[in-house]
Copies of this chain bind each other. A is one copy, B any other.
Amino acid sequence: MHRSYSLRNSRAPTASQLMNPPPPVSSARNSRSFTPFRHSMRIHQAVNFSPDLAKRLAVLVKMEKNVMASMVQVTRGRRDAARQLSYWGEDCDDDISDVTDKLGVLFYEVAELENYLIDRHDQYRVTLKSIRNIEASVQPSREKKQKLLDHIYMLKHKDPESPKLVTMEQELVREEAACLVAEAQLSNTTREKFKQAMTYNLDALHEHAEKLGLITAYGRHLLNLIDDAPVTPGEARPAYDGYETSRQIIMDAEHALSTWIPAHPSVNFAKPQEEDVQSDARSWNDYEAQGEPVPVQQMTQMNDSQSDTSEMAENDPNMHPHVREERIARMDGVENNAVNDTTSLQPKEQQPAVQVA
């Protein structure tokens, strides 16, 4: 397999693609199907009216909206087709009539599933928006700091003895502190929200996939009800008496769909941290919002919560073995880092925060 495992490089066809010749290309793709005007308008709007830092994510959010708008069309089309299938069958023989009606119910259910998927995809999109918002809000802080730095640099060359220099350097220290907080907020929010958004997305796709699988299985059972033994001209087909059976299959399908639960629970993002926060202390974000320094006690608490995560990584049965190894290795690294921090790195790195206090 010569395929590259990244989207940033080009892709080669897989071995299975080379082995199995694909089905004939659908005629839907031959027709000039262009991207709707509103879709490209959305992207242009995001490109032109977003702050630089948030531009890429803003475009992604708009693209996901386009995907959803197209999915709405598919859903609508599937519903129409399901109704039409049942309507066509109405005129045919009894068995075809019954089976098409019941298959119509199942295909309608597929449309309903996709409908539900759209709403859950929107949760993912809205969660991405909150990352976009914090990206956009961190931007001015970065720009202000950069402008101050440029200003001081210029002033130092022009007039090294200027009394303004001292004031500006004090201002720079304040800006650097604000920037540090902003970057930490960005880093934390991005991770938390990204994990949450992707969990929404993957959970929604997973549920969709499982339920779709159930529906197709029941559809196949329905198909078995059709008597496709050829008849000679003038020969009567045996009377169809599968009504009870087909009804039972649909009832079973409904039951299976309504009692479906995920085989393994979704990834528990940020659960341990939340518990810690609730248990005894405000999060550092609350402190920063009120301009208070973060208490040392709570900082050690945070390190504890990290080692909690490491234990969770070791015990979680749903974790991919590679992820588990990687996590444990990383957690060991964290502990080593933490030891280093307390000896040499921590005082130096937290200098601005200390100066604020």
In the complex the two chains form, is B320's CB within 8 Å of A249's CB? yes
Cα A206 to Cα B217 in complex, Å, equals 8
Q: Quote the shortest CB–CB distance from A293 to chain B (angstroms).
A: 10
Of B26, B194, B228, B247, the contact of A191 (CB 8 Å cutoff): B228
The answer to whether A166 has its CB under 8 Å from any CB of chain B is: no
Chain B positions within 8 Å of A242 at CB level: 323, 326, 330
Stretch at the interface among A136-144, A153-161, A347-355: A347-355
List A210-259 residues whose CB lies under 8 Å from chain B: 210, 212-213, 215-221, 223-242, 244-245, 247-251, 254, 257-259
Cα A119 to Cα B20 in complex, Å, equals 14
Of B183, B236, B269, B333, the contact of A239 (CB 8 Å cutoff): B333
Cα A103 to Cα B350 in complex, Å, equals 34
Please name the residue on chain B nearest to A193 by beta carbon.
B228
Given contacts A209-B213, A323-B245, contact A83 B29 (CB under 8 A): no
Kindly name the residue among A39, A118, A285, A326 whose own CB sees the greatest number of chain B CB atoms within 10 A: A326
The answer to whether A169 has its CB under 8 Å from any CB of chain B is: no
Chain B positions within 8 Å of A283 at CB level: 230
Tally A residues with Cβ within 8 Å of B.
166
Q: Quote the shortest CB–CB distance from A56 to chain B (angstroms).
A: 4
Bits for A36-80, please: 1 = Cβ < 8 Å to B, else 0.
100100000000000000001101100111111111111011101
Cα A329 to Cα B244 in complex, Å, equals 12
Of B36, B70, B122, B225, the contact of A323 (CB 8 Å cutoff): B225
Classify the interface of chain A: helix, strand, loop or mixed: helix
In the complex the two chains form, is B184's CB within 8 Å of A232's CB? yes
Chain B positions within 8 Å of A22 at CB level: 116, 119
Q: Quote the shortest CB–CB distance from A344 to chain B (angstroms).
A: 13
The answer to whether A343 has its CB under 8 Å from any CB of chain B is: no
The answer to whether A202 has its CB under 8 Å from any CB of chain B is: yes
Cα A59 to Cα B89 in complex, Å, equals 13
In the complex the two chains form, is B29's CB within 8 Å of A245's CB? no
Q: Quote the shortest CB–CB distance from A342 to chain B (angstroms).
A: 12
Please name the residue on chain B nearest to A191 by beta carbon.
B228
Given contacts A26-B118, A187-B93, A188-B231, contact A33 B72 (CB under 8 A): yes
The answer to whether A267 has its CB under 8 Å from any CB of chain B is: yes
Q: Quote the shortest CB–CB distance from A59 to chain B (angstroms).
A: 6
Chain B positions within 8 Å of A175 at CB level: none
Chain B positions within 8 Å of A294 at CB level: 232
Of B27, B56, B96, B323, the contact of A190 (CB 8 Å cutoff): B96
List A1-57 residues whose CB lies under 8 Å from chain B: 1, 3, 5-8, 14-16, 22-29, 31, 33, 35-36, 39, 56-57
Other contacts beyond A67-B78, A236-B349: 4, CB < 8 A: A5-B105, A6-B86, A29-B118, A202-B223
